[in-house]
Amino acid sequence: MKKRKFSFNQASVDYYLGGSISQLKEIADPRHTVLVTDENIYTRHAKRFKPWNTIVLKPGEAYKVQATADEIITQLIEMEADRKTTLVGVGGGVITDLTGYVASIYMRGIPFGFVPTSLLAMVDASIGGKNGIDVGVYKNLAGTVRQPSFILYDMSFLNSLPEKEWRNGFAEIIKHASIRDASMFAELEKNSLAFYRRRRADTDMLVRRNALLKTKVVQGDEFEEGDRKLLNFGHTLGHALENQYELSHGEAISIGMVYASSLSENLLGFKDKERVVGLLQKYGLPVRAEFDKDLVMKVLKMDKKRQRESISFILLKRIGKAVIQPISIEEIYRSL
Ligand code: NAD
């Protein structure tokens, strides 16, 4: 299995691109490893979990909460897991976020790795070391930044990924293209969801391109003091909508990207809002939503990117070029 090592300030991470979960044994000792997954993945891939101690959780964002972290910790105690135990999250972003979080706090920190199984986790959630849980409607309010030891890519998991989850993955891919990669944006405009679902070699290339794009951004700014903030394009409003209106992560940030594109048009003279909207629609993502302005503002005020009376918004100067712009709470309220 081919390994590429990427260094971050805190640690280095081994990426196994083009691997298979059957090769996990080469990286982690089954006697000292616990896998964490959810019921959807476990039932569809039961055979692959056979050699491993596995904690199986209920699926969905509603379970990305402290009570689930406590449940994992209780099971780890029952399994007599110690500081030498490696925790491996095999799943979508909910599972990788939870696994990274629990591994960061159990016995003050144990090693962990990921096998991302959703497109979204492959291109985004498993990369960069941010992990955590939601608290009520507040997304990712508690968590840590800690890098996994490894990320093992097994593209065959995508065979069982429902179409809706493909769409969610494309929301983050379109985000990456919008902020950083105009040529990928053009490629996505030329192709379609059906194309990538059929042409797996192209999907493989697209996943690699996105994984490397995010990795580079994080390598340059692990603790989000500068460029890493650009990855939040669409996320400020998106997060405020996601748990309040029970939208999926991809749907919520799709709406958030449209809003940020409108702000970009009004404040920076961004000329390609319609291209962003068109691309999101092409990949089956929603571009508008009805919501209660006051309720959304209440959640926005708790945003981690808020500084006193303004919030750092990510806007587009042009496709492929994003900038950070503080916008006053008042102005956001007016523009919603
Ligand atoms: P998810 O884990 O809920 O997965 C989505 C759905 O797909 C679930 O129902 C899951 O059971 C199912 N699924 C996953 N892989 C499957 C497979 N191979 N076959 C069949 N079903 C499968 O969520 P997600 O969309 O992968 O990720 C969204 C989460 O990721 C959010 O909580 C978001 O906040 C987080 N996220 C984190 C980061 C980060 O940097 N840490 C970045 C982006 C998103």
Secondary structure (DSSP) of 1-70 = ---EEEE-SS-EEEEETT--GGGGGGTS-GGGEEEEEEHHHHHHTHHHHTTSEEEEE--SGGG-SHHHHH
Ligand 1 centroid to Cα of residue 92, in Å, is 3
What would the two tokens of residue 173 be?
């891919």
Q: What is the mean pLDDT of residues 193-212?
A: 98
Residues 56-106 pLDDT 10s: 999 999 999 999 999 999 999 999 999 999 999 999 999 999 999 999 999
The response to whether residue 285 sits with its C-beta less than 6 Å from ligand 1 reads no
List Cβ neighbours of 30 (8 Å cut-off, separation of 6 or more): 51, 52, 53
Radius of gyration of the chain (CA): 19
Nearest residue CA, atom 37 of ligand 1? 125
Q: What is the mean pLDDT of residues 5-30?
A: 96
The response to whether residue 282 sits with its C-beta less than 6 Å from ligand 1 reads no
List Cβ neighbours of 243 (8 Å cut-off, separation of 6 or more): 61, 134, 136, 137, 138, 139
Q: What is the mean pLDDT of residues 315-329?
A: 96
Give me the chain's average pLDDT, please.
95
* Nearest C-alpha neighbor of 275 from the set 190, 169, 202: 190
Q: What is the mean pLDDT of residues 259-267?
A: 96
Nearest residue CA, atom 26 of ligand 1? 92
322 conformational bin, left if phi > 0, alpha if psi -120 to 50, beta if neither: beta
Q: Distance (Å, rounded) from C-alpha 234 to C-alpha 104?
A: 28
Nearest residue CA, atom 1 of ligand 1? 92
Asked if pLDDT for residue 313 goes beyond 90, the answer is: yes
* Nearest C-alpha neighbor of 264 from the set 237, 291, 299, 240: 237
pTM: 0.96
Q: Distance (Å, rounded) from C-alpha 200 to C-alpha 317?
A: 33
Ligand 1 centroid to Cα of residue 38, in Å, is 10
The response to whether residue 161 sits with its C-beta less than 6 Å from ligand 1 reads yes
Q: Distance (Å, rounded) from C-alpha 167 to C-alpha 159?
A: 14
pLDDT of residue 319: 98
Q: Distance (Å, rounded) from C-alpha 203 to C-alpha 155?
A: 9
The response to whether residue 160 sits with its C-beta less than 6 Å from ligand 1 reads yes
Which residues are marked as active site? 108, 130, 172, 214, 224, 228, 232, 235, 239, 249
232 conformational bin, left if phi > 0, alpha if psi -120 to 50, beta if neither: alpha
Q: Distance (Å, rounded) from C-alpha 114 to C-alpha 100?
A: 9
Q: What is the mean pLDDT of residues 186-211?
A: 98
The response to whether residue 36 sits with its C-beta less than 6 Å from ligand 1 reads no
